A = this chain, B = another copy of it.
Amino acid sequence: MTDLSPRRAGGRAARREARANPLADNLRPIRPGMSGGRYQPLDVADLDRIHNAALTALEEIGLSEAPASGIRIMTDAGAILGDDGRIRFPRALVEDMLVLANRSVTLCGRDPLYDLDLSGTRVHYGTAGAAVHMVDVDTGHYRESTVQDLHDAARIADQLENIHFLQRPMVARDILDNREMDLNTIYACCAGTFKHVGVSFTEPSFVPDAFELLHLIAGGEDAWRARPFVSNSNCFVVPPMKFATESCEVMEACVRGGMPVLLLSAGQAGATAPASIAGAIVQAVAECLAGVVYVNAMAPGHPCIFGTWPFVSDLRTGAMSGGSGEQALLTAGCAQMHRYYGLCGGAAAGIADAKLPDMQAGWEQMCSNVMAGLSGLNMVYEAAGMHASLLGFCHESLILGDDLIGQALRCVRGIEVTDDDLSLEVMRATCIGGPGHYLGSDDTLNRMQRDYVYPVVGNRASPKEWVEQGKPILVDTATQRKEMILSKPARARFAPDVDAAIRSRFNIHLH
């Protein structure tokens, strides 16, 4: 080893040594918030037509079942309540509210290191959903998910470089009281990760308690309002074209409390949205535009995410199919509509219909994840861990998803074409009087860390090496990583005094 001392090996060894150290953030091959947008499933004319159809739908069909408070807010702004109870939106109103909408939302982490800048086509991947089962990869058993499972998911996500936020991916079914469940969901997520957290609330009356909890975690209301590290995932509509009355009231409470809101329209093409992909996008856009009017009429510029989340039905059964090519197109098309409006947007990708983290899960998760990234979706929700069309969450799959998303992010980064990248001089020096190959050249070594993404769990060994490794099974390797992560103390747990204050005020189920 003395041969490698800096004195003997000179500049090359120094460079090798530098490469062994972590790279500065701007030199890492991939990172959160890289810009996508090279994939554009829709023409400019298509975008206009979808926009116009959505405006027509808002003007002529409108939405029913707004709460009294919402009717007041929206009609005060210029919306029209019909005799049929539907609120209709003049085009000019929608256009005016789009001008007021916040176009540069930052979603804060508890640690600013994890802040997410949702401007432009910047792409972030994370979890989401409301799975009711945990998937046991050894037995294929789907059991009810618990608050400990949720906390563990948060702890795992906290350690995964390519999981940029944690929206609550599963329901703590061991907590039967809905108020306690909502509050414990916040606790379990925030105690597990410093990354941005998304949650939902079952009833509007639970929101004040949630803010009390969040103020305790933040160190007071001002600190919370300065850097809100939790957003509200809000299904404010029940497609087609109906407000979800209680969720709208939750949304109003969240807006007042300074919480960013994900305006989530989760229609299902062929069931609660038109079976046509374009039609499902039209309806989702219309519904989310209604949300933009609602929120900006209430609090202009309040941080919102334009959450067009149309899902897909398998039309043979009517059941959801999140892993289909149709789903990938829906999500990418929505991302392009977000760009059309210049709004911060989110949609669902990475869902597997597969029950286990098998080959089907891999292709399903990659298809929609890479297309979402290439289309420049700001927030790619449900990007990892989701099985059985959102019914099951799997920790091993979350870990594998980190690798999968790493490769998707490499694709989002794309191809640089500077003079240096064109490599003419490297080619010349290699071919004419050079070694005739590029192995070990300075150019190759320099690009090794800056340009290439390596899997953590994925295996690239040759068959011979793989046999020597004992033919490791991918899922087993993921289980080992899971156990390693969970064997260490949770770094995001709250300071003892804060934790004591929380526990004396609320019934915290997590030990």
Contacts and interface: CB of A to CB of B under 8 A. Distances in A.
B474 A50 contact: no
A400 B50 contact: no
A66 to B, nearest CB: 14
Interface string A424-448: 1011101110001111010111011
Contacts of A453: 324-326
Contacts of A49: 417, 422
B462 A276 contact: no
A427 B274 contact: yes
Nearest to A455: B360
A178 interface: no
Contacts of A454: 314, 316
Nearest to A52: B422
Interface in A98-151: 133, 140, 142
Contacts of A365: 362-363
Interface stretch (A164-172, A214-222, A404-412): A404-412
B438 A271 contact: yes
A461 B49 CA distance: 36
A179 B56 CA distance: 69
Interface stretch (A193-201, A224-232, A277-285, A289-297): A277-285
Given A315-B448, A431-B240, A324 B410 contact: yes
A323 interface: yes
Interface string A341-369: 00000000000011111111111111100
A275 interface: yes
Interface string A386-429: 00110110000100100110111111001111101111101110
A432 B61 contact: yes
Nearest to A328: B411
Nearest to A139: B471
A185 interface: no
Contacts of A42: 415, 417
Given A273-B438, A371-B411, A391 B462 contact: yes
B241 A431 contact: yes
A409 B280 CA distance: 20
A56 B426 CA distance: 13
A488 interface: no
A240 B274 contact: no
A506 interface: no
A458 interface: yes
A40 B430 CA distance: 30
A323 B460 contact: yes
A452 interface: yes
A478 B277 CA distance: 30
A340 B65 CA distance: 53
A41 B38 contact: yes
Contacts of A264: none
B463 A427 contact: no
B61 A431 contact: yes
A161 interface: no
Contact of A326 (B40, B452, B455): B452
Contacts of A411: 325, 328-329, 367, 371
Contact of A271 (B84, B414, B437): B437
A447 to B, nearest CB: 4
A267 to B, nearest CB: 9
Interface in A57-88: 57, 60-61, 84, 86
B462 A270 contact: no
Contacts of A424: 53, 56-57, 279, 282
Interface in A447-474: 447-448, 451-455, 458-463, 466-467, 471, 473-474
Given A271-B438, A389-B460, A453-B325, A333 B279 contact: no
Given A329-B414, A471-B140, A392 B463 contact: yes
27 contacts: A46-B417, A240-B438, A270-B439, A271-B437, A272-B437, A274-B427, A275-B438, A276-B421, A277-B415, A277-B416, A277-B451, A314-B452, A316-B454, A319-B460, A323-B460, A328-B411, A353-B458, A354-B474, A356-B474, A359-B359, A359-B397, A359-B475, A360-B400, A360-B455, A363-B363, A364-B407, A367-B408
